[in-house]
Copies of this chain bind each other. A is one copy, B any other.
Amino acid sequence: MYLAKIKVTYKPSVLDPQGEVIKSALHRLDYETVEQVIQGKYFEVRLSADSLAAANGLVESMTEALLINQNTETYNYTVEEVEA
């Protein structure tokens, strides 16, 4: 069994209005040293696969097929073997 942890964020060229709103809210709460906030999505996927390489391939394929919008978002991920 493998556990994939996938972090999805907007591409740097894409405006992140939620991140801006959170930054403003943190400033109002006196966290004035905050310079930037990026809000993204996070997924954990448990799957079985024949090997770590196969699991990596499945994770990339399914992330690009369903989890992200490739026009506006980018992602990075890790996969580790875990107990079933």
Contacts and interface: CB of A to CB of B under 8 A. Distances in A.
Contacts of A8: 42
Interface string A53-76: 000001001100111000000000
Interface residues of A, number: 34
A5 B40 CA distance: 11
A51 B26 CA distance: 19
A42 B44 contact: no
Contacts of A65: 29
Given A7-B42, A43-B39, A48 B26 contact: no
A39 B37 contact: no
A34 interface: yes
A52 interface: no
Which of A22, A25, A34 is the most central at the interface, judged by chain B CB atoms within 10 Å of its CB? A34
Contacts of A61: 31
